[in-house]
A and B are shown apart, each in its own frame.
Chain A
Amino acid sequence: MRDREDAGEEGRLFAALARGDREAAERLVERTYRTVYGLLRRLCGDVDVAADLTQETYRKAWDALSGFDRRAQFSTWLCRIAYNTFLNHLRRPRRLVPLEEKHTATVADPAPAVDETVGLVVAGDRLRRAVLALPEDLRFTVTALFWGDLPVREVALQEGVTTVAIRKRLKRALAALAAALEEDLR
C-alpha cells in the first residue's frame, strides 16, 4: 500500500507536470509503468499484448490529462485507464478469419489476432478467467486491489463509494470466485 511519502512524491511530480514539466512526466512514467504493465499482464495473460496496452494507456492518459479531476492519485487514474483499455481491447468489434485453409496448414500464423488473444484469455488459468467473468463492479474491485496494487481507499474514491462498500464488494467477489472455481472442478 502506498504510504503518504509515496503519495506526496507523486503529488509533487504531478504539480510539476501541471506546470508543463516534461521531466516530471517522465518521472511519473518511471514510477507507474511497472504497476500498469503488471495489471495489464495479469488481465490479459500475455506479455506482448500487455506491453502494447501499456503504451496505449499512457497515450490515452496524455490525451485526457486535462480531464483528470485529481480526486484520486495519478496512478489510480492511470490504472483505471489501463483497465478500460483492456476492456476496449476485448470489445473491439472485428473478426479475423482465415480465408484459405491451405495456407493455414503450411504457413506460420502472424501475430496473434484479437480473437486469438481472447482465446488466450479464456484458455488461461481458471482464476483469471473467473475474475474476468465477474460483474463489472466486482471485477474492477478485485483487479484494482490485487493486480493494480491500489489501496482500498483509492478504489473507493475512484468508484465513488465508501471503503465499507468496497470491502463488501470484495467479499461478494471472492465468494463468487470460489463458487465459480468450485463449479469448474466438478
Chain B
Amino acid sequence: MTPWNSREIARRLAERDDVEPPEGLLETIKSEIPATLPALHAVRESDGMAGHGGQRMPRRRIWLMAASLAAVVVGGLLGLRMMQRATITTARQQESAGEAPARAPQPAVPAVPPPPVAAKTAPAPEGAGVSADLDAARPEPETAQQAAKEKKAETRRSDLKSLGYLADRRLQPSQVPRAASPPPPPRPPVPAAKAAAAPEEQITIMAESVPASGVKGGVAGGAPGGVAGGGGLRKDAAPPLDERRRDTRDPWGVLQTTPGVATDRINVGGNESGQQSEYASPAPERRSLAAGRLPPPGAVRVEDFVSSFSYGDEPPVRDDFAVHAEGAPTAFATDAGTRLLRFNIRGREARTENKAAETRQTIARNAGARVEFNPEVVSRWRLVGSEDRAALTREKPGGDIGPAGQVGAGQSVTALYEVHLKPGVSGSQTIATLHLRFRAADGGRALEITRDLRVADLAPSWEKAPPGLRLASLAAELAEVLKDSTGAKSAGLDDLLRRARQLSAELAKSPQAAEAADLVRMVEETVRLKRQK
C-alpha cells in the first residue's frame, strides 16, 4: 500500500509525462489572435512584467517589512535590557541576603532575536546528500535546447525543493534510502474529515436544479441552419385572448397577439433562427440604411435584423452546442414586472481555417428547441418578433419536438422572450427552462441539453443587463421602428438613440464595439430619414 505523505504527494504532483500538445493546436491558437490587438497603455520593456528584474515592490509590503524589522530590533534590545536588569537585581538581592553568587541564575545570555520565519517554514530538504550524488551522476544534455530545458526543469525542481517537500523528482521510491524516508506524518484531524467529504462537495458545483415542472411553452422555430421546431400551427387555432392570457400552455395564444396588447408594452421583435456573426450576410434593412434609404416597412423582418448582429455568445468548447440564457428588465416596458429574456444556442465550430466549408459542416440533425415557462413565476409571456411569421412551428402533443432542421457548425440561434413575472417570486425559482434536443450528425444517440434561467439570474436593471441582451433589445426596437410598429413609435426614436449611444460608449473596448457603433449609426440614419419624411 502506498504510504501517502506530503513528500510522496509532492513528488507525484511534480511528475511530468511530457505529453506533446496535439498537432495543429499552436497554429490554431495563432490564427485566432485578433487582427487588431486592443490598445494597451505604453509599456516600457524594463517594467513590462512585474515580479522579475526591475520589479517594484508594492508599497504596502515595503512598509510591512520595515515595520517587522523595526519590531525585531526594538524587541531584541528591550529583551536584552530587561534580562540584564533582572540579573543585576537578582544579584543584588542575593548579595543583600548573604547568599552565594553560585546560586544565582545562569549568566545573562544576550537576547537573540527570533529566527527568521522562513527558517521555521522551510525545513531542510530531505535527502540532500542523495540529491547531490545524483546531480553528479546526471548525464550531460546533448543539445543546447535540451540543456535549456534541463536548466529550466532544474530551477523548477530547486524551487519545489526549497518548499521542503520535494527531495528530487528523479528519485524513485526504490532509490530513496529507507532511512531517509520519514515516517508518515500524523493525519490532521480536520482535513481528514474535510477531504473525505470534499469530492462530493465539489461535484455539487456541477449539479443543477431540477427543471421547473412548468408548462411547456414556446417553440424556437427553424430556419436554414437554425434549430427547428416542427408541426404546423394555424392561427385560427388560437383561443380567445382572455383564455390565452390565463393559459401559457399554448404558445400561439401569446405569439399571435399584437404588440402591446398582451404585455402592455411595445413590440421588441426578436429571432429564433438563422445564422449569426461573421457567417451571416447583412440583413436587407442594414443594407438599405447603409445606402441612405429607409427599407419598406412591410419588408422588415425583425428576427432577421436582430440575428444579423453578433452578441458575443461564445461557441461550445467540447460539446456540440453552447446554450446561453440571460434576462433583465426591459428598457421600454411600462410594467414593473416585465422582463426580457434572451436564449442563445450556438453550434460547435469546426476546426478548419476555411470558414465557408466550416459553415457547411453539419454537426447536428433533428434538432429542436423548446422553452418551458414556470407558471408559478410567469403570468404572461411571448416570443417577440414572431407575430408575423408565416410558418410557425410547435411541439407535438406529448412534448416531442417535431420535424427538425440541421445545424451547421458555428451557427447560432437567438430567441427573445418577453415575460411578466408574478409579484413576490423568490430568487431561487426557475423562470424558464430551455430544452434542446438533437442527434449528432454522425448518427450518435439523441441528446437533450437543458438550461434553467432563475429569477436570481436576472440582471437588476436594464443598465446592468448583459451587453448582448441590451444590444439585441435595441436592435429589435430599431427594427420595430423601421417597421412602423405602433408600439415602437410611442417609445420615441430619441430615447432609442440615447440608449444606443450609451451602450456603444460602454462597449467601446469590448468585442461588440463595432456592432454597437453600427447600431448607433443605423439609428442616427433612421432618425435623419424619418425626419426628412
Interface residues in chain A, defined as those with a beta carbon under 8 Å from any beta carbon in chain B: 1-4, 6-8, 10-12, 14-15, 17-20, 22, 25-26, 29-30, 33-34, 37-38, 41, 47-49, 51-56, 58-59, 62-63, 65-66, 68, 70-74, 76, 89-91, 93-100, 103-104, 107-115, 117-118, 122, 127, 129-135, 142, 145-147, 149, 151-154, 157, 162, 164, 167-168, 170-172, 174-183, 185
Cα-based distance from A41 to B19 in the complex (angstroms) = 9
Residues of chain A within 8 A (CB-CB) of B6 are 171, 174-175, 177-178
Question: Shortest CB–CB separation between residue A71 and chain B, in angstroms?
Answer: 5
A175 x B33 contact (CB < 8 A): no
Distance between Cα atoms of A112 and B156 in the complex (Å):
35
CB of B521 closer than 8 Å to a CB of A: no
A54 to B396 alpha-carbon distance, docked (Å): 41
Are A73 and B192 in contact, CB atoms less than 8 angstroms apart?
no
Asked if B446 is at the interface (CB within 8 A of a chain A CB), the reply is: yes
> What are 20 A-B pairs at a CB distance below 8 A?
A17-B40, A18-B40, A19-B42, A26-B30, A33-B21, A66-B39, A91-B205, A98-B447, A100-B445, A110-B440, A114-B206, A129-B199, A134-B195, A154-B51, A167-B121, A174-B9, A178-B185, A181-B9, A182-B187, A183-B192
Beta-carbon nearest neighbor of A21 in chain B = B37
Q: In the complex, are the beta carbons of B37 and A25 less than 8 A apart?
A: yes
A96-B449 contact given A66-B39, A127-B12, CB 8 Å threshold? yes
**B29 in the interface (beta carbon within 8 A):** yes
Asked whether B240 is an interface residue with its Cβ less than 8 Å from the other chain, the reply is no
CA distance A14 to B41 in the complex (A): 12
Query: Is B13 within 8 A of A90, CB to CB?
Result: no
- Tell me which of B2, B122, B202, B509 contacts A132 (CB under 8 A): B202
Q: Which A-chain residue is minimally distant from B317 (CB atoms)?
A: A52
Q: Is B388 an interface residue (CB 8 A)?
A: no
- Check B446–A99 contact: CB distance below 8 A: yes
With A22-B33, A26-B33 in contact, is A6–B53 under 8 Å at CB?
A: no
B62 at the interface (CB under 8 A from A): no
Say yes or no for B155: interface residue by CB 8 A criterion.
Answer: yes
Could you tell me the distance between the alpha carbons of A33 and B51 in the complex, rounded to whole angstroms? 21
A73 touches B51 (CB 8 A): yes
Interface residue SS majority, chain A = helix
B48 and A70 form a contact (CB under 8 A): yes
Q: Which of B29, B155, B191, B319 contacts A172 (CB 8 A)?
A: B191
Out of B22, B165, B185, name the residue touching A170 (CB < 8 Å).
Answer: B165
Name the contact of B4 in the complex, choosing from A19, A37, A114, A181 (C-beta under 8 A).
Answer: A181
Q: Nearest Cβ in chain B — how far from A146, in angstroms?
A: 4
Interface contact B9-A15, CB-CB below 8 Å: no
The chain B residue sitting closest to A27, CB to CB, is: B30
A14–chain B nearest beta-carbon distance, Å: 5
Q: Is the CB of A179 within 8 A of B188?
A: yes
Assess whether B5 is interfacial by the CB under 8 Å rule: yes
Asked whether B14 lies within 8 Å of A146 as measured between CB atoms, the reply is yes
Chain B min CB distance to A93 (Å): 5
Residues 12 to 69 of chain B near chain A (Cβ within 8 Å): 12-14, 19, 21-22, 25-26, 28-30, 32-53, 61
Chain B residues lying within 8 Å of A22, measured Cβ to Cβ, are 33, 35, 37
Closest residue of chain A to B209, judged by CB? A93
Return A165 CB to nearest CB of chain B, in Å: 10
Instruction: Assess whether B10 is interfacial by the CB under 8 Å rule.
Output: yes
Bound CA–CA A58/B28 (angstroms): 10
The residue in B1, B8, B192, B320 that gathers the most chain A C-beta atoms within 10 A of its C-beta is B192
Once bound together, how far apart are the Cα atoms of A1 and B52, in whole Å? 12
Give the distance to chain B from A88, nearest Cβ to Cβ, in Å. Answer: 9
Q: Do the beta carbons of B199 and A122 come within 8 Å of each other?
A: yes
Contacts of A114 in B (CB 8 A): 206, 318-319
A109, B444: Cβ atoms under 8 Å? yes
* A138 smallest CB distance to B (angstroms): 10
Known: A90-B205, A130-B198. 17 other contacts (CB 8 A): A1-B158, A7-B51, A15-B45, A18-B42, A18-B48, A22-B33, A26-B33, A29-B26, A51-B21, A62-B38, A66-B40, A107-B443, A109-B444, A109-B445, A133-B195, A135-B198, A175-B187
